[in-house]
Structure 1
Amino acid sequence: MEVRLAESYGFCFGVKRAIKIAERSRGGVTFGALIHNPKEIERLKNSFGVRLAQSLNELKSGDQVIVRTHGIPKNDLLSLRQKNISITDATCPYVTKPQKIVEEMSDQGYQIIIFGDIDHPEVKSVMSYSSTPVIVVGNLEELKEKKILKRVALISQTTKQTSKFLEIAHFLMCCAYETRVFNTICNATFQNQDATRKLAKEVDIMVIVGGLTSSNTQQLLNIAKEYCKDSYLIEDEKNLNKKWFVGKKICGLSAGASTPDWIIQNVKRAIEAL
């Protein structure tokens, strides 16, 4: 098989920063999964002694706590600061930006609308900074069912598609008296999505590598399927199925922002060996 890598793929700035923080901690504790890639989480545990805590009750005095890249709810952060523990905030700067916007806009009386997945930890984190109830929608049709106030502020989960965000922005500008639009989609997300879209048009099959629970990786898969119906999502080379490649000559390869390069290269070599 011929394998073509997307022009932009894999680790983004925020993830690289968080991984370095975790490695330097040598035995630190991440509050929530640091990133959405179980293989990398396992590597950090085995090689650097970094363990995972899913709740405040799992943390004890003296722990070196690392706040996950997606951020945590505001009240959880305040509770951490009241404990006798060391805290390193690895929240991606592209996530702290919408946190601040939501806090400021809600204090000014704007209705907060977030384009995102309500169960995603990033969205939960950002929502917690609002002083008023927040509307979270996954698409334009969901928004049309909501009661829109006169003054609204729109932000996006950092890993969403720009085109769908703009659809929502246009709708709000037509039905609200005042609409404040903040483009909080990460540049790396946009670049990876654009590169995947371009590559999917040129190949017979697309393979996206990343955590199955990763939002940005799922977005890459959705984009790839628009232009290449034979597109698949895997976590590593063990998930490859030889039947996918029957009759195919060129395979496109991209990866989510939480996917380490060592996994991507393992997948690339496995496909080339077919």
Structure 2
Amino acid sequence: MKIELAESYGFCFGVKRAIKIAEENRNSSTYGPLIHNANEIDRLKNDFNVALSENLDSFKVGETAVIRTHGIPKQELSTLHERQVNVVDATCPYVTKPQQICEEMSAQGYDIVIFGDEAHPEIKGVKSYADDHVYVVNSPDELDALKLREKVATVAQTTRKIEDYQQIIGKLMAKHKEVRVFNTICNATFDNQDAVRDLAQKADVMIVIGGKNSSNTKQLHSIAKEYCPDSYHIESQDDLQENWFDTKTFCGISAGASTPDWIIDEVVAKIKSLTRA
């Protein structure tokens, strides 16, 4: 069994930054999961006493709240400051950018179209920065039901595929006189997606490692499966199944932006033991 890691994979700049911030703020709590990786969240709790709270009301005067990498709604951030909570913002700068764009474009009278998953914490935060006339779509077809005015601005969830965003942009351009397009998909996403695409075309089995709730990991798995039907999304070595590797000779491995190296190393070691690579 040949095992090969994608050329680009794993922790992105924003996640590395957030984890460093959390480690520097021992005995604090993150508001919402810092990143979409339960194993890494457990490590922060066990090694640095960084707890997890999903209840805004749990933070009291003088306590420290570390803001999750995906950001939080504008109103919740204001509430924390009003309650005199010590706010340490670990929001990824690539997520802060679409927040700023939505705020500025909304103030200038643009309708805002956000390409992404409305239930995702990143999009909940981004959407909150627009005053009115803000819409979230997951596909070009969803644009048909919107009553948009002439001036439209669009941003994308940072972990989306550029090809899908281009479809949204194309449909908006065909129907509206003024469309302001902002490419808010982060470079790490591009690099990881290009790398998994290249590797999946050579491999006969692909393992993509990352949290089950991780949007960018789901995208990597989707791309891998396009080129390698036997592609599997796992969270840790415990999810691996020996029969996945029967008759296979080339195993490709990629990992989402919230997946630490120690989990990747464990997965590689387990695959080697299962296949005697």
What TM-score, normalized to structure 1? Answer: 0.98
Deviation at 1:199, TM superposition (A): 0.4
Alignment match, 2:38: 38
Letter in 2 for 1:247: T
Query: How far did 1:85 drift?
Result: 2.2
2:156 paired with 1:156: yes
Runs of 4+ more than 4 Å apart: none
Number of matched pairs = 274
Distance 2:21 2:120 in 1: 23
How far is 1:56 from its partner? Answer: 1.3
Structure 1 CA distance for aligned equivalents of residues 198 and 144 of structure 2: 32
Post-superposition offset of 1:135: 1.0
Aligned-residue Cα RMSD (Å) equals 0.8
Q: Which amino acid aligns with 1:249?
A: T
The code of the aligned residue for 1:215 comes to S
Which residue pairs with 2:134 in the alignment?
134
Give the distance between the partners of 1:8 and 1:74, measured in 2 at CA.
Answer: 33
- Separation in 1, partners of 2:272, 2:79: 50
Unaligned runs of 5+ in 1: none
Deviation, 1:149, is 2.1
| Matched residue, 1:182 | 182
Counting only pairs closer than 5 Å after superposition, residues 211-250 of structure 1 correspond to structure 2 as: 211-250=211-250
Q: Counterpart of 2:253?
A: 253
Tell me, in whole angstroms, the C-alpha distance in 2 between the residues paired with 1:271 and 1:145.
48
Tell me the equivalent position of 2:25.
Answer: 25
> 1:144: Cα distance to partner?
2.7
| Aligned AA (2:267) | V
Find the residue that maps to 2:248 and give its secondary structure: coil
Q: SS state of the match for residue 66, structure 2?
A: strand
Q: Give distance in 2, aligned partners of 1:238 and 1:93.
A: 33
Contact 1:154–1:181 (CA under 8 A) maintained in structure 2:
yes
Distance 1:227 1:148 in 2: 37
Q: Contact between 1:220 and 1:256, CA under 8 Å: does it hold in 2?
A: yes
TM-score, structure 2 normalization? 0.97
- Please list the CA deviations of residues 130-177 of structure 1 after superposition, one character each: whole Å capped at 9, or x if unmatched: 011311111112223322321100100000000010111111111111
- Taking only the aligned residue pairs, the percentage that are identical comes to 56
Per-residue Cα deviation, 1:94-150 (whole angstroms, up to 9, x for no partner): 011000000000111111000000000000000000011311111112223322321
Find the residue that maps to 2:192 and give its secondary structure. helix
Q: Write the distance in 1 (CA, Å) between the matches of 2:217 and 2:272.
A: 22
d(CA) in 1 for partners of 2:253, 2:39: 18
Match of 1:116 in 2: 116
38-47 or 128-137, larger mean C-alpha shift: 128-137
User: How far apart, in 2, do the equivalents of 1:188 and 1:48 lie?
Assistant: 27
Local SS of the residue matching 1:179: strand
**Aligned pairs for 1:59-208 within 5 A:** 59-208=59-208
